[in-house]
Amino acid sequence: MNYRRLGSTGLQISELSFGAWVTFGDQIGQEMAERLMRVAFDAGVNYFDNAESYSGGKAETIMGNVFKNAGWARETFVVSTKFYWGLRETVNQRNTLNRKYLLEAINGSLKRLQLDYVDIVFAHRPDPDTPIAETVWAMHKLIESDKALYWGTSEWSAYEIVSAIYLAEKYHLHKPVTEQSHYNMFTREKLEKEYLRLFQEHHYGDVIWSPLASGFLSGKYNDGIPADSRAAQPGYEWLQKTFTSAERIDKVKQLAPIASDLGATMAQLAIAWCLKNPYLSSVILGASRPEQLQENLGARAIAPLLTPETLERIENVLQNKPR
Ligand code: NDP
């Protein structure tokens, strides 16, 4: 496994990591989650991602039980959680990054994860109703109280991130150090265009999510929606619209021969392609079964095979490089 620095910090995280969205608590239970996390850890994955809202808190509980059962030394893994959506339909507890919510939410997450601290805490979305300065102060407080070591943003605009960085510098507070962004062969604009100066001038980190576009880039949706797939899960029917797009399916079909020329699966090609982005600290993988995770971890060996010529072949199919 290769380890990359998280932005400008000294923290090193595995370039392939593992997250809990959709799967932990909804699709899979304790036993399967433990099998998956052990597969990841044994392959050198040291970074695990979660969020307060995943499966209404169950995903954190399951992950916390795995940390405990596995008995891994706390120094050997990095864990993140995210706050914004909240767990209760109550004022100040939902869709907010205000100080009250953030300072209370961390206690629930630490309890579910059975940990004294998380390594990274993310603002899961920007909150237009809370001054950015208030969120920066609250995140600073979480770090100063030893409940988190670093903080980051998820799906914030470059403007919002730079505002947070400048406010933190102005008041000598802990700055956000990384984004957690949606990035894959079909979703490129933010990372390859909007954030470029953020990476180059502020050395901001980025750990990216949905590298397979929720599984679509594995090619499993080329002939319809498999009954046991994410898009068939209750509550995720919204994925079906993009997953039945003839244009996108055609692109996945055209990418398949490029993958097989490299001796790779389509999922491995799509993940390896993400790894080629030099600004990424980690690609967060998702999996509902161990075979998927084993396959996806194999993308590490494919990334060095992506020569400029192969990347050009891929661009010719995708036709979506941000200008
Ligand atoms: P992917 O795009 O890689 O999708 C993972 C899903 O695709 C799996 O659960 C599985 O679903 C399917 N899949 C994975 N590998 C294969 C394979 N080899 N062959 C066939 N199907 C496969 O990643 P996620 O969308 O899960 O995102 C990864 C992580 O990123 C999340 O767990 C979470 O931690 C984080 N995240 C963060 C967000 C944010 O807002 N910050 C938002 C979303 C995710 P199935 O078997 O059910 O079809």
Q: Give residue 144 CA to ligand 1 midpoint distance, Å.
A: 33
**CATH number of the domain where residue 247 is located:** 3.20.20.100
Q: Is the pTM of this model over 0.85?
A: yes
8-20 burial, b for 16+ CB within 10 Å, e for fewer?
ebebebbbbbbbb
**Mean pLDDT across 76-100:** 96
Tell me, what's the pLDDT at 244? 85
Q: Is the CB of 211 under 6 A from ligand 1?
A: yes
Q: Whose alpha carbon is nearest atom 14 of ligand 1?
A: 287
Q: Is the CB of 113 under 6 A from ligand 1?
A: no
140-165 burial, b for 16+ CB within 10 Å, e for fewer?
bbbbeeebbbbbbbbbbebebbbbbb
Whether residue 246 lies inside any domain: the answer is yes
Please give the residue range of the domain that contains residue 146: 3-318
For 209-226, write each residue's pLDDT tens digit. 999 999 999 999 999 999
For 130-172, write each residue's pLDDT tens digit. 999 999 999 999 999 999 999 999 999 999 999 999 999 999 9
Whether residue 122 lies inside any domain: the answer is yes
Q: Which atom of ligand 1 is nearest to the CA of 21?
A: 32
- The preferred substitution site among 60, 222, 230 for testing ligand 1, maximizing ligand atoms within 8 Å of CB, is 230
Whether residue 26 lies inside any domain: the answer is yes
Whether residue 56 lies inside any domain: the answer is yes
Catalytic residue among 3, 47, 54, 84: 54
Q: Which atom of ligand 1 is nearest to the CA of 82?
A: 41
Q: Does the annotation mark 54 as catalytic?
A: yes
The encoded tokens of residue 118 equal 């998380």
Q: Give residue 215 CA to ligand 1 midpoint distance, Å.
A: 6
**Mean pLDDT across 45-59:** 98
pLDDT at 241 over 90: no
For 105-128, write each residue's pLDDT tens digit. 999 999 999 999 999 999 999 999
Tell me, what's the pLDDT at 317? 98
Q: Could you tell me which of 212, 244, 291 has the C-alpha nearest to residue 39?
A: 291
Q: Whose alpha carbon is nearest atom 20 of ligand 1?
A: 218
d(C-alpha 4, C-alpha 198), whole Å:
18
Whether residue 298 lies inside any domain: the answer is yes
Q: Count of domains in the chain?
A: 1
| DSSP 8-state assignment for residue 27 | T
d(C-alpha 125, C-alpha 57), whole Å:
17
Q: Give residue 201 CA to ligand 1 midpoint distance, Å.
A: 30
Q: Is the CB of 85 under 6 A from ligand 1?
A: no
Q: Is the CB of 177 under 6 A from ligand 1?
A: no
Whether residue 86 lies inside any domain: the answer is yes
Q: Is the CB of 282 under 6 A from ligand 1?
A: no
Whether residue 323 lies inside any domain: the answer is no
Percent of the chain scored above 90 by pLDDT?
96
Q: Is the CB of 21 under 6 A from ligand 1?
A: yes
Q: Kind of pairing, strands 16-19 and 176-182?
A: unpaired
